[in-house]
Homo-oligomer: A and B are copies of this chain.
């Protein structure tokens, strides 16, 4: 069992309750990463579902949970011939922290019937670069779990030269070797620095809502993660992420609505 699999374990208490333990090793600036938290919740949802794959997850981030014990509460909304629909809530101290609506189904693994190309080409991995290791006191423990190698212009903000567009792109894989799966994809869609950094914004950017769709099971190897956004306005921004696998398949899509940092 990998560290990630262990950190996302969900232990069945009964058909509507799972015990989980939120791992402090997945924090960004001291707050647990939203993608990691979705992965934990989806372990419970998939375990309780007659279907194998979380094809759609809409998450509303109410509050930031603390590391430590928590529960996932499930409510089955529909069990159909093709899909099951579940409301899942992350609870800590009898308070709801994250609400999700999840659709599970079993993806057949057939070929794609039509697919568009990524809007922007990604350079080869050899031309991509890591950000420096964060300082221990920064609370960026998440960075020790995942390896992001960035398309260089999209981290120009780090050296004071933002690209001037809402964008963020990287090759992604786990530091501990592990083939990608739907739970890792839940994390990959929320694993890059906010796309607004490239457009000149700074500071903590809390996600309010994030919806992602699993489109195919990823092949082994690094993932390509393409992030962009369309609008910063009234303190809000959107971030759209596509994840492509090593065989050139679009495997996940997400969009989140987040608050602009005041940093």
**A211 and B255 in contact (CB under 8 A), knowing A109-B234, A216-B233, A250-B231?**
yes
Instruction: Select the stretch in A82-90, A127-135, A141-149 that faces chain B.
Output: A82-90
Can you name the residue of chain B whose Cβ is closest to the Cβ of A215?
B231
Can you name the residue of chain B whose Cβ is closest to the Cβ of A118?
B230
Residues of B within 8 A of A77 (CB): 60, 62, 96, 99
Can you name the residue of chain B whose Cβ is closest to the Cβ of A242?
B230
Residues of B within 8 A of A208 (CB): 55-56, 83, 103
The count of identical subunits is: 2
A248, chain B: closest CB distance, angstroms: 12
Q: Are B234 and A213 in contact (CB under 8 A)?
A: no
A259 within 8 A of B: yes
**CA A228 to CA B235, docked complex, whole Å:** 27
Q: Are A62 and B78 in contact (CB under 8 A)?
A: yes
A93, chain B: closest CB distance, angstroms: 15
Interface size on A, residues (CB 8 A): 58
Q: Are B209 and A238 in contact (CB under 8 A)?
A: no
Q: Are A113 and B58 in contact (CB under 8 A)?
A: no
A168 within 8 A of B: no
Annotate A45-85 by CB proximity to B: 1 below 8 A, 0 otherwise: 00000000001101010110000000000000110001101
**CA A100 to CA B209, docked complex, whole Å:** 12
**A99 and B85 in contact (CB under 8 A), knowing A234-B107, A257-B213?**
yes
A218 within 8 A of B: no
Can you name the residue of chain B whose Cβ is closest to the Cβ of A254?
B255
Q: Are B58 and A211 in contact (CB under 8 A)?
A: yes
A140 within 8 A of B: no
Within 8 A of B (CB), among A92-119: 96, 99-101, 103, 105, 107-116, 119
Q: Are A199 and B114 in contact (CB under 8 A)?
A: yes
A236 within 8 A of B: yes
Q: Are B115 and A231 in contact (CB under 8 A)?
A: yes
Q: Are A115 and B230 in contact (CB under 8 A)?
A: yes
Residues of B within 8 A of A107 (CB): 234
A229 within 8 A of B: yes
> What is A's interface to B at a CB cutoff of 8 Å?
55-56, 58, 60, 62-63, 77-78, 82-83, 85, 87, 96, 99-101, 103, 105, 107-116, 119, 165-166, 196, 199-201, 208-209, 211, 213, 215-216, 228-236, 238, 242, 250, 253, 255, 257, 259-260
Among all A-B residue pairs, the 5 with the closest Cβ atoms:
A58-B58, A211-B211, A113-B232, A56-B209, A112-B233
